[in-house]
Amino acid sequence: MDNTSIELRYKKSEKNLEPTSKRERTFKLVKDKVVISSMAGMIGTLCKDLPNFILYKLGIIHYVYAQLAASAHLEPKNICSLLGYTIGFLADITTGGAIGVATLIFLNRFGLEYWWYKGLTIGITVWLFGLGVILNLGTVHLLPLEPLFRLTSLVDHAIFGVVTVYLIYKWQTKAEDNWK
C-alpha cells in the first residue's frame, strides 16, 4: 500500500466526520445528557451570581456567593483573597454543574412539561436547603442573616433553576432531534 492510498482514505473518512450544517456543528459535541445538564447548571450558576455581584458592588448586600462557598473550604482570613474568591467561584460553579445533573434526573423522572414551574421549584428548593439548612449547620465561616440578602438570594436561586431547566429542555430537545 502506498502513501497516496492512505492519504485518500484519510481524506474520505475525514469528510464523513465533518458536520454538514450549522445545526450539526453546534450540537456535535453536546449530545451527552450529563454534559448538557452540567453545562446548563454551570450557566445557571453564572446567571444566579450576576445579580448577586451587582447588588454586592452597589453595596446593597455584603456577601457574594463565591465568599460563602470559599468559607466552607478556607479559614476566615483567606476568604476575601484572590485565591479565596477563585476557590469559592470554582466551588460554586461546580456545585451548579452537579445540581444540573440532579435536575436532569428529576426531569427524566417527571418530564419536561411545565419546565418553567419545575425550574422555579428546583431553584427555590436549592435556596431552601443551601441557604436555609446547610449554612446553618456550621459548615461555613460566613453566615449572612440579613433579611435582604436572604430575599435577594431567593430570587437569584429562582433564576438559577429556571435557566438551568430551560437550557436542559432546549439542548436536550435539539440533541435528541439531531440523534434521529
Write down the domain spans for the chain.
33-179
pLDDT of residue 5: 44
Structure confidence by residue, pLDDT tens digits, 160-172: 999 999 999 998 7
Query: Which grid cell is 109?
Result: 423522572
Lowest mean pLDDT among 83-87, 96-100, 136-140: 136-140
pLDDT digits (tens, 9 = 90+) for 66-78: 999 999 999 999 9
Residue 140 pLDDT: 83
CB 158 within 8 A of CB 127: yes
Q: 128, 136, 124, 134: which is closest to 160 by C-alpha?
A: 124
> Which amino acid does the sequence have at 177?
D
Identify the pLDDT of residue 27.
47
Burial class (CB in 10 A: 0-12, 13-18, 19+), 96: buried
Checking if the pLDDT of 4 tops 80, the result is no
CA-based angle 94:169:95, to the nearest 5? 10
pLDDT at position 139, please? 81
Global pTM reads 0.80
- What three-state secondary structure class fits 143? coil
Mean pLDDT across 15-20: 50
Return the pLDDT at 10.
43
Query: What is the distance between the alpha carbons of residues 130 and 143, in angstroms, rounded to a whole number?
Result: 12
Average pLDDT of the residues in 97-125: 95
Summarize pLDDT for 145-162 with one digit per residue, the tens. 899 999 999 999 999 999
Phi, psi of 92 (to 5 degrees): -65, -45
